[in-house]
Chains A and B, each alone.
Chain A
Amino acid sequence: MSSEELNGTAVSPYSKKIKKETRIKESIIRAFFLLNGLTALVFIILIFIFLFKEGINAFNHISPSDFISSGKPDEEGVMQTVYEWFPTAGNARHSLIPLILGTLLAAIPATIFSTILGVGAGIYLSEIANPKIKEFLKPVIELFAAIPTVVLGFFMLVVGASFFSDIFHPTNRLNAFVAAVGLSMVIIPIIASLTEDALRSIPMELRMASYGLGATKWQTISRVILPAAFSGVSASIILGFGRAIGETMIVLMASGNASNITANIFMSVRTMTATIAAEMGEVSQGSDHYYALFFIGVILFIITFVLNLIAEVIISKMRKRNTF
């Protein structure tokens, strides 16, 4: 190693006697990381602009009311108001209602399952598990999040769907419920690890005070810790919900993709993400269908953006409050 380097590391960066060479090095490194940060920002802004430009263009092709409903003559030739997604038909219909409802019918049950299991797992990891079990269990739960979603989708398509159709005898073998279970596998680790973080950030004094007043472990968790960490836990659930809405591969493979308007969780649904994934590759650029898909993208983006924003606000508020 050269002597300059030794000197460079020996001198504290706060010392006034920083060598000129080191200073230049420092500023180059700083510029490099600044560039990295800016690049990410620029890309996000460019994607923003592109998405919104193409999405807003949809209104030049399709009137806003057509995204909700459109007219279709029935057999007698009488116009009927229909809520249908038939973008390639001769009389194209671009109602987003079945897609939005389909997305919710898969995402809401998934969030409910994951809240029960994820928050439970978070509480267990943070409050109950002894350190040895925790050391083993936490990486395992986080590993779940690392499974490629296409693998989970395939698993639900082949194994999960058969398993649940034997139990529930659903209307459709592939349905919103199967998709929701698949989605939960992705969301549970998110909710579990964020909940655990939130609970851990509650100061030890609170627990000690509670035990000191004679509360049991369960009373401490349910009356003291959970209420104190309420905002953090709810932020984790909101983030999980956002992920459930944005997840594509699992719903594409396991939901059956029929654009039913239904509240029956055992029927097939078509989600917004699956529609984009399945149709975007095949659409001819500049057609109504193309812009309609971009418009779905804009709606999805807005939904997940708002959800993430709410979660961010809650988390940052919680951080401020928790600095006792």
Chain B
Amino acid sequence: MKKTILFHLVILLSSVFLFQACKKREEVKKEVISVKGSDTMVNLAQKWAEVFMNQNANVSVQVTGGGSGTGVAALLNGTTDIAASSRELKSKEKEQAASKNINYEEFKVALDGIAVIVHPENPLNELTMDQIRDIFSGKIKNYSEVKSGNGKITLYGRENSSGTYEFFREHVLGKDKNGNEIDYATNTQVLQGTAALAEAVARDKNAIAYGGVGYFAMRTDVKILGVKKDADSPAIYPSKDGKVNFDDIWSGAYSISRYLFMFTSAKPVGGVDAYMKFVLSPEGQKIVETMEYIPLPR
């Protein structure tokens, strides 16, 4: 009896190994390319990958998130083919690339508009860039200071590795008159991802947060604010009637918008090249639009 069990075990194990070996041989034929980075871009890159793989059966695209910083770090460590990033490379990262002899290529693949959102019951409708800066850096602590009712402001933000965090800090918070970076208020509550942010704002009457327009445009449980470049200019809304306001983001009239990037570690060849070409093609840009991001200006 013991021997038969052993015999069966051997057969089972060897068949498993055989199966694995066969599987491996099959996979070798498929070129695997990996896209890693920005959480804001994960859904977009995934959708691109799906449609692209339908058309190119011999290439398999694996998309993972983790944040722009993660993607760029992976590119520099050689663990990904394409890094998706919602910001340009930092000077530190450029130095690292140079020291590792990586001649990366940069592609602008889409745009993203950052919306500032509040609870729907908040009477606030628009803010100037200066007011947004003062709110998120903690200088303005009460809604009465922006002439909108009364209530302690509760700040919500993203993790310090997220591209949205970096972009918003550079673009909106900026620097003080001595050239020092202005930081987010330390009492900013940090949530994991845009979805958690929207949920939190929908449940908190005093909340204010920032994140991609595409994600918030369709939601009715948060209110998107209009942004004025300065006190005298008109308020521009990044979305209208549940749809993204493309024209004002392309033209730059809406103050908080950004390009989204992909980086390849060298001049793209083979599957990577095909994927990048697809991303930039009219079909790829159509996908950008259906995914609530902003396609490149035509």
Are B67 and A171 in contact (CB-based, < 8 A)?
no
8 residue pairs of the A-B complex, CB under 8 angstroms, read A5-B2, A253-B192, A257-B191, A260-B187, A267-B187, A278-B159, A281-B66, A282-B161
Are A88 and B160 in contact (CB-based, < 8 A)?
yes
Q: Which residues from A are CB-within-8-Å of B67?
A: 281-282
Interface 9-residue window, one of B24-32, B176-184, B215-223, B284-292 = B176-184
Interface centre among B76, B189, B199, B203 (most CB of A within 10 A): B189
Within 8 A of A (CB), among B41-70: 66-67, 69-70
Are B189 and A268 in contact (CB-based, < 8 A)?
yes
Closest to A98 in B: B186
Does A196 count as interface, using CB distance less than 8 angstroms? no
Q: Which residues from A are CB-within-8-Å of B154?
A: 171-173
Within 8 A of A (CB), among B81-101: 93, 96
Cα–Cα distance between A172 and B160 once the two chains are bound (Å)? 20
Q: How many whole Å from A99's CB to the nearest CB in chain B?
A: 12
Contact of B178 among A77, A86, A172, A261 (CB under 8 A): A77
Within 8 A of B (CB), among A45-83: 72-73, 75, 77
Are B186 and A84 in contact (CB-based, < 8 A)?
yes
Instruction: Tell me the count of chain A residues lying within 8 A, CB to CB, of chain B.
Output: 41
Are B181 and A257 in contact (CB-based, < 8 A)?
no
Cα–Cα distance between A157 and B188 once the two chains are bound (Å)? 17
Does A34 count as interface, using CB distance less than 8 angstroms? no
Does A89 count as interface, using CB distance less than 8 angstroms? yes
Are B189 and A279 in contact (CB-based, < 8 A)?
no
Are A258 and B186 in contact (CB-based, < 8 A)?
yes
Contact of A256 among B178, B180, B183, B190 (CB under 8 A): B190
Does A31 count as interface, using CB distance less than 8 angstroms? no
Contact of B190 among A5, A258, A267 (CB under 8 A): A258
Cα–Cα distance between A98 and B186 once the two chains are bound (Å)? 10
Closest to A279 in B: B161
Q: How many whole Å from B168's CB to the nearest CB in chain A?
A: 13
Are A89 and B161 in contact (CB-based, < 8 A)?
no
Are B189 and A282 in contact (CB-based, < 8 A)?
no
Q: Which residues from B are CB-within-8-Å of A279?
A: 159-161
Cα–Cα distance between A253 and B160 once the two chains are bound (Å)? 16
List the interface of chain A (C-beta within 8 A of B).
1-2, 5, 72-73, 75, 77, 84, 86-91, 98, 157-158, 161-162, 171-174, 252-253, 256-261, 267-268, 270, 278-279, 281-285
Q: Which residues from B are CB-within-8-Å of A5?
A: 2
Q: Which residues from A are CB-within-8-Å of B196?
A: 157
Cα–Cα distance between A161 and B59 once the two chains are bound (Å)? 45
Cα–Cα distance between A128 and B91 once the two chains are bound (Å)? 68
- Given A75-B177, A77-B178, do A2 and B2 touch, yes or no (CB 8 Å)? yes
Does B77 count as interface, using CB distance less than 8 angstroms? yes
Are B2 and A162 in contact (CB-based, < 8 A)?
no
List the interface of chain B (C-beta within 8 A of A).
1-2, 66-67, 69-70, 72-73, 76-77, 93, 96, 152, 154-155, 159-161, 166, 176-178, 180-181, 183, 186-192, 196, 199-200, 203-204
Are B186 and A260 in contact (CB-based, < 8 A)?
yes
Are A258 and B161 in contact (CB-based, < 8 A)?
no
Are B69 and A75 in contact (CB-based, < 8 A)?
no
Are A86 and B183 in contact (CB-based, < 8 A)?
yes
Q: Which residues from B are CB-within-8-Å of A89?
A: 181, 183
Contact of B192 among A98, A260, A278 (CB under 8 A): A278
Q: How many whole Å from A315's CB to the nearest CB in chain B?
A: 38
- Given A268-B187, A282-B161, A285-B77, do A91 and B181 touch, yes or no (CB 8 Å)? yes
Are B200 and A174 in contact (CB-based, < 8 A)?
yes
Cα–Cα distance between A212 and B73 once the two chains are bound (Å)? 73
A-B complex: 5 closest residue pairs judged by Cβ atoms = A282-B161, A257-B190, A284-B73, A256-B189, A282-B67
Are B188 and A173 in contact (CB-based, < 8 A)?
no
Q: Which residues from A are CB-within-8-Å of B73?
A: 282-285
Interface centre among A84, A87, A88 (most CB of B within 10 A): A88
Q: Which residues from A are CB-within-8-Å of B166?
A: 88
Are A282 and B180 in contact (CB-based, < 8 A)?
no
Closest to A78 in B: B178
Q: Which residues from A are CB-within-8-Å of B190?
A: 256-258, 270, 278
Q: How many whole Å from B80's CB to the nearest CB in chain A?
A: 13
Are A73 and B159 in contact (CB-based, < 8 A)?
no
Q: Which residues from A are CB-within-8-Å of B203?
A: 161-162, 173
Are A282 and B186 in contact (CB-based, < 8 A)?
no
Known: A5-B2, A281-B161. 8 other contacts (CB 8 A): A87-B160, A88-B166, A258-B155, A259-B186, A260-B186, A268-B189, A278-B161, A281-B67
Are B191 and A173 in contact (CB-based, < 8 A)?
no
Q: Which residues from B are CB-within-8-Å of A171?
A: 152, 154
Contact of B176 among A75, A157, A253, A256 (CB under 8 A): A75
Q: Which residues from A are CB-within-8-Å of B72?
A: 284
Are A90 and B159 in contact (CB-based, < 8 A)?
no
Are A73 and B180 in contact (CB-based, < 8 A)?
yes
Cα–Cα distance between A284 and B74 once the two chains are bound (Å)? 8
Q: How many whole Å from B182's CB to the nearest CB in chain A?
A: 9
Cα–Cα distance between A38 and B270 once the two chains are bound (Å)? 48
Cα–Cα distance between A86 and B178 once the two chains are bound (Å)? 19
Q: How many whole Å from B235's CB to the nearest CB in chain A?
A: 28
Are B178 and A283 in contact (CB-based, < 8 A)?
no
Q: Which residues from B are CB-within-8-Å of A281?
A: 66-67, 70, 161
Cα–Cα distance between A72 and B204 once the two chains are bound (Å)? 32
